[in-house]
Structure 1
Amino acid sequence: MGELIAQFHITSIDWDPPKGFKRHSWDEEGLMGHDPTWGRFWEIKYASNKQRSQLLDIQNRLYKKLKNLTKGNYYSMTHADMNWGNVLIEGQKLSVIDFDDCCFGWHAADLANSIWNTDPQFASIQEISKQALLKGYKSLRNNSDQVIKDLDLFYLVRCLQILKWVEDREKEIGDIEPIIDSILRPAINRAIEMEIIKS
């Protein structure tokens, strides 16, 4: 998977979009702006007033971090949802599907999205999965230090994005409160551990 994502990134860096091509961007505005692409996660209803205040603080601080983050060869067209649910395996061949989230974004975000998972069964192998992903990625992608350095930051960003994504699908999913809680509390704790906000 890491090699596959690296191939996408290497190709997209040198890709010139055709005239008139438009696609949304998961830049600082699209991810952490006043009206992010997936919605204002700091206003979700299944959160306490304190949690919403913390989320708003995180949003403001992450916006500033992203605004100052290097783009250059670390930012281009990305799949933005390349997880195992969107990869078909046939023998040794991997085929990618589901390009609806495809957008301009940071490569580190693309990697973070691929390892993001709330399934409790995945928790025990998440670090192994992450290291395998990075090993494959680095094997093809030269000068990937900045991408890897920003991975934890974008993992947090993904957690926050998903909060609003889940809330917007309450009718389809059903009881979302425990799902929100399982993402929200760890996300706030992660932000505290990363010293983005104070406890």
Structure 2
Amino acid sequence: MTISHPTTETVPAPSGTPAGSLSAFDHVGRGDDAPHWVHDGICLAWGLPLAATRVTLIAVSENVTFKVSVNEDPSLVVRLGRPGYAVSVEHVRSELLWVEALQRDAGVPTPSPRHGADGDFVQFLTDDGGASWTAVGFDFVTGTILEDQTDFADHFVEIGRLTAQLHGHSRGWARPTGFQRFDWTVDDMTGGLARWGDWRNAPLTTGDRAVLERAETTARATLSGIPRTPQHWGLIHSDLRPSNVMTHEGAMTIIDFDDCGYGYFLYDFGSALTFYEHRPSALEMGARWLDGYRQVATLSRDDLELAGALSLMRRLTMLGWATTHRADALPADLWDENKPGTVEVAARYNADPLWLVGA
């Protein structure tokens, strides 16, 4: 195991170097110890004592996240980026620059990025096959993931308020030179170029497929007339769902900005309800999110129509996501409900595109 700092600014390994794969963690479950190259690499990158440090898996999704404890005291969360997912090293570094700015300028509660021993945000770990993985660290935050709680709809007022606060910062923030994040266009959500996989690859009946196709066509038509102006489009979290919100003693923390990018602001409404849109609680969650958002910013009826369309597109995005991810990336009940729930949500959207936004 070695740590390497490439001389170029591209993330993918050099020609001839084996490409890393999330399959390297197929036999590592939540709470299990990390492979030795991850443990040793993290210790070297952040200057931690090898013998006193334990690194355990939190989750495998787009990237791989670990809890790092020193002398049994959790102190750091490290995220490994799979080779090829990020466009460049600047792409990874830019995420952390925005997180810092959100803390400093807007008071958005999110864990502080942790510089490595060499002073840089972005570190590099080399796996047993020779592939280079980016690694970034954040201060460990005590709390419980919202997804692991019950009856959490009340929290959506605060989530909506913080999201509007985040959007306000996005509109006014002068990006540092070299700032780079990807886009979340409709073609990045669904279709052959979908970033996380196309929902059409899911096993569906002919009837269910027709329901989804009709819903997508309607949503795309709604979005086709929306310009990419600062009113509608900018830097967004894009994955601010219950699994990326923590609470502790009444305080809320937003985590996991690794999918942040340029998109429609109200895509964050759809993201907030991810995997829950089909459940009875979704109407209350959505209404409370909108109430919280309105504490900071106004929303027109046209905005609500946009939010409804983006919520539908998000649900289809996540059905595609499930075709390229392992089942333990979600609680078992949400995984099992994802496909039938998506069909149900699409059918409701076909009957009334505003059903989820109360307009």
Common fold: TM-score over 0.5:
yes
Aligned equivalent of 2:208: 51
1:144 maps to which residue? 299
Q: Which has the larger radius of gyration?
A: 2
Structure 1 alignment gaps of length 5 or more? none
Counterpart position of 1:181: 339
Which of 262, 279, 282 matches 1:126? 282
- Relative to its length, the structure with more strand (as a share) is 2
How many percent identity over aligned positions? 21
The equivalent position to 1:63 in structure 2, one of 200, 220, 234, is 220
- In 1, the alpha carbon distance for the partners of 2:307 and 2:296 equals 17
Distance 1:134 1:18, change over 3 A: same
Q: Is 1:77 matched up with 2:77?
A: no
Aligned residues: 191
The structure richer in helix per residue is: 1
Q: Distance in 2 between matches of 1:67 and 1:21?
A: 27
Amino acid aligned to 1:68 = G
Which range is displaced more, 82-91 or 148-157?
82-91
Superposed CA offset, 1:124-175 (max 9, x none): 332222222111110111x322433322111111110111111212464699
Match of 1:22 in 2: 180
Question: Secondary structure, in 3 states, of the residue corresponding to 1:95?
Answer: strand
| Distance change in 2, residues 1:99/1:134 (3 Å) | same
Q: Is the 8 A contact 1:79 1:102 kept in 2?
A: yes
Q: In structure 2, give the amino acid aligned to 1:144.
A: L
TM-score calculated relative to the size of structure 2: 0.47
57-66 vs 85-94, which moves further? 57-66
Query: Match for 1:106: what amino acid?
Result: Y
Displacement, 1:4? 0.6
Higher relative contact order (CA closer than 8 Å, sequence separation 6+)? 1
Q: Shift of residue 9 of structure 1?
A: 0.5
Structure 1 length normalisation: TM-score?
Answer: 0.79
In 2: Cα distance, 1:60 partner to 1:128 partner: 27
Equivalents in 2 of 1:75, 1:51: separation in Å?
32
**1:131 and 1:103 mapped to 2: Cα distance?**
25
Moved more, 102-111 or 17-26: 17-26
- Worse overlay, 110-119 or 150-159: 110-119
* Structure 2 residue corresponding to 1:8, chosen from 134, 159, 166: 166
